[in-house]
Structure 1
Amino acid sequence: MDSRVVVVGGGVIGSSIAYFLRASDPSVSVTVIERDPTYARSSSALSAASIRQQFSTPLSIQMSLYGIEFLRSIGERLEIDGAKPSIDLHEGGYLFLATPAGLGTLRENHALQQRLGANISLLDREALQTRFPWLNTDDLAAGAYGESGEGWFDGYGLVQALRKKAQALGARYVAAEVSAMRRTGRRVTEVIASNGESYPCDVVVDAAGAWSRTVAAMVGIDIPVFARRRSIFNVSSPAQLAHCPLLIDPSGVYFRPEGRSFICGTSPSADNDPDDLPLDEVDHALFDDVIWPALAHRVPQFEALRVQNSWSGYYEYNVFDQNAIIGHHPDVDNCIFANGFSGHGLQQGPATGRGISELILHGRYTTLDLSSLGFARVLENRPIVEKNVV
């Protein structure tokens, strides 16, 4: 059993790993190196902070089923001296909508989700109109709605709760940027930080999110993960939408309630999605040209909208197949990767933290087997095809 673990990145993935390691084995030394302890540019803090089971691959569904179990019990799990954190979990459900062209895929995904225990209802057009009378269903065939286990929460609150609990359990957090790693043969022996300190390690974990590619390169590994900017818009509207879920339109545009307003967004087209765009800019043209027309079509009450606020965050985007890369690389014995979540990091963080702690402590996964997300599929060109990409 390796005893000195250095985790690069203290967002939801890194802090989840630190928490599970210290909770499972207090003898393990855990150091988390996080360059921005304010998390001002962290994907964990800037995302739409939601969780769903409506995926098309079994492992993603199972990871999020554990994720919702973890989030529901966060007060007890991450309690410190009687103080229980709250992340304002709201199980408002996801609503995936399908036109006739997408009906077959929706049904196929729903059957898999049901088989694995997710509480998802398949609603025909009439049922959609009954449940959500504010919805324009003219061009729809059906929708899949999460009756429970899906919704949204305070992502920044989750990161802080994990971090504080990991620290209370003895994990050390260092505010610095990793500048280099010393590798001897097949092992990383030291992590060197910008503060001039060197951290010897038995295991190093790359959990650097949108910056993971730079960290991987320090040990000679090329990882297909890039920083892709996503803009989120907070809009006000006089619309009164009873029982409003997080809605995924067939166009790819999404929206959900946020207090008395709504937040919304979409991914840019593949030919207009470059790497490393500045986070201090927002793609207002995407809102004007794509998001607003789609919202006004799907919800006629959204004809009257006003943008109140907007911001951008990074997806740590796995260009290979938009799924996480979790586990060892065959060329480095003691470096573990947890990268490329492509927008699913917050909801898959608890399962990832648990799994990587098992890998470090036992040399294998002992609960949910995450091995299919390993590097082998990338090296052997075996992409995992996810049909429900948002």
Structure 2
Amino acid sequence: MALPIRPTHQTYDIVVIGGAMMGSAVAWWCARNPDFQGRILVIEADPTFEHAATSLTNSCIRQQFGTAVNIQISQFGAMFIDRFKEFMEDDSAPDIPIQSFGYMYLADNDSFAETLANSQLLQASLGAGTQMLSPAKLAAAYPFYNLDGIIAASHNPVNEGYFDGGTIFDWLRKKGGQLGVERIHNRATGLRLGANKVTHVALASGESISCGAVVNCAGTRGAEISAMIDAPLPIEPRLRYTYVFEAETPLPRDLPLTIDPSGIHVRSDGRYYMAGAAPDDDHPRDPDDFAMDHNLWEDKVWPALAHRIPAFERIKLRNTWAGHYDYNTLDQNAVLGPHPEVRNFHFCNGFSGHGLQQSPAVGRGLSELLIYGAYRSLDLTALGYERIRANAALTERAVI
């Protein structure tokens, strides 16, 4: 059913700009909280979500991060997925299993092997099941790898792998609507400020909506929205390519999401396999640029796959697409929470490919800020905007 263009009311307590996974998660978490009795409006420029990162994601989750806050965010995400029916409070909600084939990071140099080992210690201290594997152990468990040059690996087979993010997204929108969340097909064109807060959101259709708070969930256009309050964001669209292929000789077991030193990653995808790669020239793109580089498959991706997994010398490409990361050039980490001065403007931007798996914890955290003025469950302060202004990176090295 098509969304209406114009809002029902002139005033909303919370206006969410961007209605994909993050915007839907924020709106749902707020609406389900009995302590919130206000109105929520979600503004979505493209309700088909044809080019949204939510639609073009590879839909995976992992705990193998190098910062504690990201590990904890994904741990809650895994728990949310596991208890999805309970969170939806609806017996008709589906079970959403995680296909836990895990992520497999391969190291071909001492520096990266040390990074993996240090990260494993951090992950294990927080309860993750990550293990370091020697080449011998790796070869015994996964004999289909060519381990030439590989000196170590990191793998976590618990709550890491693929999940059905599309179904979760559908249910967040559905349940949000049942709880009173209003969604419109429109675009925010300006923000009016007064007394150090956003007082109105201007719409492309001509209306000016008064608001109690604004949440910027605009994905690759997040920097455009924050510029409306003169708040620079180091976030830009970056192209990422996905390839789905069939192997003439399938592997004897599920393939972990393998991050090869070449920069290519590949995993099982049902009876097929899914690989991903960045362009060789990884520069910012226009938000509407989704052009494929068809030479990259033949020149880089397929050779890298066949080198690491010789069975992939005989494969048939079945599907390809291009998507975008809302890439944070400072530290590849999310920017969350209120602006230091314009306190009712909240950031929810720059996930750099982690957004789908982080949406449960981020939606919960921002709802707590919006309703109570502080984080109550998981402290996400380290991901605040202050570090952007101070140019103080919280670098996440585990970016794919």
Q: TM bucket by the smaller chain? A: over 0.9
For 1:106 and 1:256, the matched residues in 2 are separated by: 20
For 1:334 and 1:182, the matched residues in 2 are separated by: 12
Distance verdict in 2 for CA 1:278–1:5, change over 3 Å: closer
1:201 corresponds, among 196, 203, 211, to 211
For 2:95 and 2:242, the matched residues in 1 are separated by: 23
Deviation per CA, 1:327-356: give whole Å up to 9, x if none: 112231210000000000001111110110
In the alignment, is the contact (CA less than 8 A) between 2:12 and 2:41 conserved in 1? no
2:394 is the counterpart of 1:387: no
2:296 is the counterpart of 1:286: yes
In the alignment, is the contact (CA less than 8 A) between 1:180 and 1:191 conserved in 2? yes
2:360 is the counterpart of 1:363: no
Deviation per CA, 1:60-116: give whole Å up to 9, x if none: 111000111111111221254x32135553222111111242211111111111001
2:138 is the counterpart of 1:132: no
In the alignment, is the contact (CA less than 8 A) between 1:97 and 1:144 conserved in 2? yes
Deviation per CA, 1:273-309: give whole Å up to 9, x if none: 2322644421222222221111111100011122211
In the alignment, is the contact (CA less than 8 A) between 1:85 and 1:161 conserved in 2? no
1:165 corresponds, among 175, 178, 185, to 175
Secondary structure, counterpart of 2:343 in structure 1: strand
**Superposition map of 1:1-390 within 5 A:** 4-24=13-33, 25-80=35-90, 82-87=91-96, 89-101=98-110, 102-241=112-251, 242-269=253-280, 271-276=281-286, 278-390=288-400
Structure 2 residue identity aligned to 1:6: V
In the alignment, is the contact (CA less than 8 A) between 2:26 and 2:363 conserved in 1? yes
Secondary structure, counterpart of 2:232 in structure 1: coil
Secondary structure, counterpart of 1:201 in structure 2: strand
For 2:254 and 2:321, the matched residues in 1 are separated by: 26
135-144 vs 357-366, greater mean Cα deviation: 135-144
In the alignment, is the contact (CA less than 8 A) between 1:323 and 1:373 conserved in 2? yes
Structure 1 residue identity aligned to 2:24: S
Structure 2 residue identity aligned to 1:103: A
For 2:286 and 2:332, the matched residues in 1 are separated by: 17
- Give the share of equivalent positions with the same residue, in percent: 39
Distance verdict in 2 for CA 1:331–1:288, change over 3 Å: farther
For 1:283 and 1:86, the matched residues in 2 are separated by: 37
Secondary structure, counterpart of 2:344 in structure 1: strand
For 1:194 and 1:277, the matched residues in 2 are separated by: 18
For 1:85 and 1:186, the matched residues in 2 are separated by: 44
For 1:183 and 1:100, the matched residues in 2 are separated by: 52
With normalisation by structure 2, the TM-score equals 0.93
Structure 1 residue identity aligned to 2:68: P
Structure 1 residue identity aligned to 2:131: S
Secondary structure, counterpart of 1:205 in structure 2: strand
Structure 1 residue identity aligned to 2:61: I
Aligned-CA RMSD value: 1.7
For 1:284 and 1:78, the matched residues in 2 are separated by: 41
Deviation per CA, 1:26-51: give whole Å up to 9, x if none: 40221111111111111111011111
For 1:85 and 1:174, the matched residues in 2 are separated by: 27
For 2:83 and 2:311, the matched residues in 1 are separated by: 37
Structure 2 residue identity aligned to 1:319: T
In the alignment, is the contact (CA less than 8 A) between 1:229 and 1:276 conserved in 2? no
Distance verdict in 2 for CA 1:330–1:32, change over 3 Å: same
Secondary structure, counterpart of 1:221 in structure 2: coil
Deviation per CA, 1:134-183: give whole Å up to 9, x if none: 11112211211112110112232222111111111211111111122222
With normalisation by structure 1, the TM-score equals 0.95
Gaps of 5+ in 1: none
Structure 2 residue identity aligned to 1:95: M
In the alignment, is the contact (CA less than 8 A) between 1:248 and 1:254 conserved in 2? yes
For 1:376 and 1:26, the matched residues in 2 are separated by: 27
